[in-house]
Amino acid sequence: MSSLGRIRTITVAALALLSLSAQAAFPLADGNGNKFPSLAPMLEKATPAVVNIATTGTVRVEGNPLMNDPFFRHFFDVPDEPQIRKTQSLGSGVVVDAKNGYIITNNHVIDKADEITVTTRDNRVLKARLIGTDPDTDVAVIQVKEGGLTALPLGDSGKMRVGDFVVAIGNPFGLGQTVTSGIVSALGRSGLGIEGYEDFIQTDASINPGNSGGALVNLKGEIIGVNTAIFSQSGGNIGIGFAIPINMVREVMDQLVKHGAVKRGRLGAEAQDLTPALAQAFNIKDGHGAVITQVSKGSPAAHAGLQPGDIVTAINGNPIRDASTLRNTVGLLRVGETATLTILHEGKSRDVTAKITDSKGDGSQGSAANPHLKGATLSNIEEGTRLYGRIEGVLITAVEPGSPAAAAGLHAGDVIVSANRHNVKSVDELNKVTHKSKTLLLNIRRGNGALFLYLQ
């Protein structure tokens, strides 16, 4: 058989396999009775649920910290009113509850929005209100009151396999819907530094700018992920896209609808991946799990009897692949819920129970003792937050306008790593180091950069 003949045979066989694997998605007949595979019947039902989201908002323009001083403001004739800049954003969203008008999207699509507008596929322009948002998973829920919506059924992202066919649907830039197809390239992607909680589905279906918040659907027309990011050095799509698994989105959405925010669970234990070398050291054949490295006193982990060296292999029957999976799983548990942990203790498997507590319930927030920092609200970097495990220091959660902290140039989101050349890991440590100091030398982490501030 010629090479061309073999290619034709392989192509026909592949199409036949594709059609057999998804009969529900591919009615195989045209008007003349000819059979062929097509995504169109499934997409005709799925695409009305994907909407365009446009936002407008305002942000305060940060100037030179010296301009907070009244003398400099008067000398340079700086207006007393804060400088404000208008912002706009475009993205996509997915209707998942037509009756209540709930739409899921990415947090970064609606971040800092004063007004949110939804445009449906039939060109209706609807005002939406924010129900809740979770920056750590980049999930947000908005709501429209008008009826006549079409919702996408929720699939089970836990059943997806590498090689499954998927379709990415977006409604970017108000241009109308776009559809791209591909396969699941990988599962459980984490450690990318995109979000605080990462368990991404990786796909080669093109996820282009403006598609953030759109749907990743299977061949049944069920949403199995929310498109959120791409990996690219040029800004264009190179076939590496990431979607938040719908099972994670469902857990976050439930809490946002009920509480308006996600109440992070806390176990009170630090862990690392079970590497092949550690598995050999612990004389374990199965190299999957998370090794407990530290247990906090009085924590749920301590009450459950966890010890350093124990290996968590499952929580509530769900396998724990590594430390990232452990963190994601605990972070999505309800506060007050009792979880069953399957662990390996000295090589023997057993189940223990732990009652999950609030990650922010230990009174770790407060004000600074030093007058130079007056007006700054300080917080420990707690387990379950996006900075936990990435940096050690004290987080500034808010800065009062016109306060000494604002005049010093401190911003909400800054992390104080050291004070007067002493590393600080908690609000108590920072106050002990600085409360009697007339001058302060602070090492600050801000975004992806760092700087020193000298306050006197």
Section 253-272 average pLDDT:
84
Q: State the pLDDT confidence band at 6, using cuts at 50, 70 and 90.
A: very low
What is d(CA 309, CA 296) in angstroms, rounded to the nearest whole number? 14
Residues 217 and 96 in one domain: yes
Q: Is it the case that residue 175 has pLDDT exceeding 60? A: yes
Which one of 261, 286, 310 terminates a domain? 261
DSSP classification of residue 45: H
Q: In this structure, what token pair is assigned to residue 151?
A: 């919702």
Residue with tokens 């439930």: 254
What is d(CA 68, CA 374) in angstroms, rounded to the nearest whole number? 15
Domain presence at residue 416: yes
Q: In this structure, what token pair is assigned to residue 214?
A: 């759109």
Structural domain range at position 270: 265-358
Residues 58 and 33 in one domain: no
Residues 350 and 371 in one domain: no
**Backbone phi and psi for residue 87, each to the nearest 5 degrees, phi listed first:** -125, 155
C-alpha distances in angstroms, 212 versus 131, 208, 351, 444, 453? 18, 8, 40, 31, 37
What is d(CA 30, CA 43) in angstroms, rounded to the nearest whole number? 16
Which residues in 61-164 belong to E strands, given as ranges?
A: 84-97, 102-105, 115-119, 125-134, 139-143
> 3-state DSSP helix/strand/coil percent for the chain, to nearest 5?
20, 35, 45
Domain presence at residue 138: yes
Q: Do strands 365-367 and 348-355 pair parallel, antiparallel, or not at all (unpaired)?
A: unpaired
SS3 59: strand
Q: Is it the case that residue 1 has pLDDT exceeding 50? A: no
Section 7-12 average pLDDT:
38
Q: State the pLDDT confidence band at 243, using cuts at 50, 70 and 90.
A: very high
One-letter amino acid of 39: L
What is d(CA 445, CA 440) in angstroms, rounded to the nearest whole number? 16
Which one of 261, 277, 308 terminates a domain? 261
Residues 90 and 23 in one domain: no
Q: What is the pLDDT of residue 153?
A: 94
Closest listed residue to residue 59, CA positions, set 109, 113, 130, 131: 113
Q: What is the mean pLDDT of the chain?
A: 80
Of the chain, the percentage scoring pLDDT greater than 90 comes to: 23
Cβ contact 152:215 at 8 Å: yes
Domain presence at residue 34: yes
Bridge partners of residue 363, in order along the sequence: none
In degrees to the nearest 10, what's the CA dihedral of 126, 130, 131, 136?
A: 130
SS3 199: coil
DSSP classification of residue 299: S
Q: In this structure, what token pair is assigned to residue 162?
A: 């590498």
Q: In this structure, what token pair is assigned to residue 404?
A: 């000494």
CA 424-427-430 angle, to 5 degrees, is 45
Residues 328 and 424 in one domain: no
SS3 191: coil
Residue 441: CATH number of its domain: 2.30.42.10
Section 132-138 average pLDDT:
87
Which one of 358, 388, 406 terminates a domain? 358
What is d(CA 343, CA 290) in angstroms, rounded to the nearest whole number? 9
Residue 202: CATH number of its domain: 2.40.10.120
What is d(CA 79, CA 92) in angstroms, rounded to the nearest whole number? 38
Q: What is the pLDDT of residue 93?
A: 92
Q: Give the other-Cβ count within 10 Å of 250's Cβ.
A: 17
Domain presence at residue 384: yes
Domain presence at residue 43: no
Domain presence at residue 354: yes
Cβ contact 59:85 at 8 Å: yes
Q: What is the pLDDT of residue 191?
A: 67
What is d(CA 245, CA 318) in angstroms, rounded to the nearest whole number? 15
Residues 336 and 438 in one domain: no
Bridge partners of residue 168, in order along the sequence: 180, 216
What is d(CA 217, CA 283) in angstroms, rounded to the nearest whole number? 42
Q: In this structure, what token pair is assigned to residue 324?
A: 């990232």
Residues 89 and 203 in one domain: yes
- pLDDT per position as a tens digit, 368-382: 778 888 888 888 887
Q: What is the pLDDT of residue 2?
A: 44
- pLDDT per position as a tens digit, 283-317: 887 678 889 988 887 888 888 899 998 999 999 98
Residues 140 and 257 in one domain: yes
Which position has the higher pLDDT, 49 or 358?
Answer: 49
Q: In this structure, what token pair is assigned to residue 453?
A: 């501030």
Residues 255 and 286 in one domain: no
Domain presence at residue 435: yes
Q: What is the pLDDT of residue 76?
A: 56
Domain presence at residue 181: yes
The most confident of 147-156, 174-183, 271-280, 409-418, by mean pLDDT? 147-156
Residues 443 and 428 in one domain: yes
Q: Is it the case that residue 64 has pLDDT exceeding 60? A: no
What is d(CA 419, CA 265) in angstroms, rounded to the nearest whole number? 30
Residues 188 and 272 in one domain: no
Residues 120 and 203 in one domain: yes
Q: Which residues are catalytic?
A: 108, 138, 212
pTM greater than the 0.85 cutoff:
no
Please give the distance of CA 452 from its chain centroid, rounded to a whole number: 30
Number of domains in the chain: 4
Section 215-236 average pLDDT:
82
